[in-house]
Structure 1
Amino acid sequence: MVNFNGNLFSKDSEILTQNNRGLKYGDALFETIRCVNGTVFFWEDHYFRLMASMRILRMEIPMEFTLEFLEEQIRRTVGKNDFANSPSRVRLTVFRNDGGFYGPLTNKISYIIEVSPLESPFYIIEEVPYVVELFKDYYVNKDMLSNLKTTNKVLNVVASVYAKENGYQNCLLINNDKNVVETINGNLFLVSGEKVKTPPLTDGSLNGIIRKKLLEILSSLDDITLEEASISPFELQKADELFITNSISGIIPITKYRKKQFDTTFSKSLVGKLNAKARVG
Structure 2
Amino acid sequence: MINFNGKLVEGSSFVTCDNRGYKYGDALFETLKVVHGKILFWEDHYFRLMASMRIMRMEIPMNFTMEFLESEILKTINANGLAKSSVRVRCNIDRGDGGKYLPKERNISYSIIAERLDSDFYTVSNLKAYTVELYKDFFIAPGLLSTLKTNNKAINVLGSIYAEENDFDNCLLLNTNKSVVEALQGNLFLVSGESIKTPPILDGCLNGIMRKQIIDVILNSGDYVLDETSISPFELQKADELFITNVIVGIQPILKYRKKNFETKISEDLLRRLNTKMRLS
Give the alignment's TM-score, normalised by structure 1: 0.98
**1:13/1:139 CA distance change after superposition, 3 Å:** closer
- Contact map agreement 1:190 1:196 (CA 8 A) in 2: yes
Matches within 5 A, 1:230-269: 230-269=230-269
Q: Which residue of 2 aligns with 1:172?
A: 172
Contact 1:89 1:248 in 2 (8 A): yes
Aligned-pair CA distance for 1:107: 1.8
Q: Does the 8 Å CA contact 1:195/1:224 hold for their aligned counterparts?
A: yes
Deviation at 1:99, TM superposition (A): 1.1
Q: Displacement, 1:277?
A: 2.9
CA contact (8 A) 1:42 1:278 kept: no
Query: 1:25, 1:280 → 2: CA distance?
Result: 42
Residue 198 of structure 2 aligns with an amino acid whose one-letter code is T
Residue in 2 that maps onto 1:15: 14
Partner of 2:59: 60
1:276 CA displacement:
2.8
Q: Please, which moves more after superposition, 204-213 or 271-280? A: 271-280
Quote the Cα distance in structure 1 between the aligned partners of 2:279 and 2:203.
Answer: 31
Matching of residues 91-170 of structure 1 within 5 Å:
91-126=90-125, 127-170=127-170
Using the alignment, how far apart are the partners of 1:93 and 1:9 within structure 2?
15
How much has 1:143 moved relative to structure 2? 1.2
* Closer/same/farther in 2, CA of residues 244 and 13 from structure 1, 3 Å limit: closer
Deviation at 1:280, TM superposition (A): 4.6
Deviation for aligned residue 1:260: 0.0
Match status 1:29 vs 2:25: no
For structure 1, list consecutive stretches of 5 or more residues without a partner in the other structure: none
Structure 2 CA distance for partners of 1:221 and 1:134, relative to 1, 3 Å: same
Cα distance in structure 1, aligned partners of 2:144 and 2:180: 17
Matched AA of 1:17: T
Seq. identity, %: 57
The residue type paired with residue 176 of structure 2 is N
Range 14-23 or range 266-275, more displaced: 266-275
Aligned-residue Cα RMSD (Å) equals 0.9
Shift of 1:221: 1.9
Q: By how many angstroms is 1:13 displaced?
A: 4.5
**SS at 1:74 equivalent:** helix
Secondary structure, counterpart of 2:242 in structure 1: strand
Tell me, what secondary structure is at the counterpart of 2:91? strand
Cα distance in 1 for partners of 2:246, 2:158 equals 19
Aligned to 1:71: 70
Whole-Å Cα distance in 2 between the matches of residues 41 and 27 of structure 1? 26
Q: What secondary structure sits across from 1:270 in the alignment?
A: helix
Evaluate the alpha carbon distance shift between residue 232 and residue 117 of structure 1 in structure 2; reply closer, same or farther with a 3 A threshold.
same
Report the counterpart of residue 87 of structure 1 in structure 2. Answer: 86
For the Cα contact (< 8 Å) 1:243–1:252, is it kept in 2? Answer: yes
**Counterpart residue identity of residue 28, structure 1:** A
How high is the TM-score relative to the length of structure 2?
0.98
Partner amino acid, structure 2, of 1:195: S
Instruction: Decide whether aligned partners of structure 1 residues 9 and 84 sit closer, same or farther in structure 2, where only a CA change above 3 A counts.
Output: same
Instruction: Give the corresponding residue for 2:225.
Output: 225
Which residue number corresponds to residue 50 of structure 1?
49
Count of residues in correspondence between the two structures: 280
Q: Deviations over 1:110-161 (max 9, x none)?
A: 0000000100011111133100000001001101100101011000000000
Distance 1:170 1:271 in 2: 20
